[in-house]
Amino acid sequence: MNSLKFKYSKRHRQWSQVVASIAVCVLAALAIHGAGLLSIGTLSSPEEGFVPLIEAGMLAVGGIVLLIRALTQTTEPRIYWPRGDSRRMVVHLAVGLFGYALLLPPLGFTVATFLFLVVAISAWRKYAWWIVALYALSIAITLHLIFSVALSMSLPVGWWANYQLGL
């Protein structure tokens, strides 16, 4: 924390809270719409849409209150959004995880894990490329041996293996 500066501004804080409040209101609107498609029933015989409609309505009220507070209040705690390297690391990991989920079915667990670990470990820019590859390979193989072999867990094997197995 001490080597990285977080820039705080009142306008930035309100923007984050405003966007969050609007997101809650949008979610509430969608929930109300979804509940409206269901049968509400009556008070003495509530059906599947009854409780979701109440919940969505309460969410809408909560969202509006948050929006008003975000636009008018000045005592909300500070929000520290990461900047520079910190932001890069979080985005790097999130995108890496996204790619991992995409590649798991076609490539299978071991290969996809190896690739993800290469991407994720290199996010810290701490090790040379060959050390990263070595760590990634050894961890991927170890995890394969523990989960797929020792614990007999059913993990994705990849399209090529499925093709070979005739699946």
Binding site for other proteins (CB under 8 A): 1, 3-4, 16-17, 20, 24, 27, 31, 34, 38-39, 42-52, 55-56, 58-59, 62-63, 65-66, 69, 76-77, 79-82, 86-87, 89-90, 93-94, 97-98, 100-101, 104-105, 109, 113, 116-117, 120-121, 123-124, 126-127, 135, 139, 143, 147, 151, 153-156
> Where do the DSSP E strands lie in 55-161?
none
Nearest to 51 by CA among 35, 29, 65: 35
Copy the structure tokens of residue 107: 């490539």
**Cβ at position 11, least distance to other proteins in Å:** 16
In whole angstroms, how close is the CB of 129 to other proteins at the nearest point? 14
Please state the closest distance from residue 154 (CB atom) to other proteins, in A. 5
In one letter, which amino acid is 144? H
Do 43 and 51 contact (CB within 8 A), yes or no?
A: no
Q: Which residues, including other chains, have CB under 8 Å from residue 28's CB and lie 6 or more apart?
A: 56, 57, 59, 60, 62, 63
The residue among 39 and 164 lying less far from other proteins, judged by its C-beta, is 39
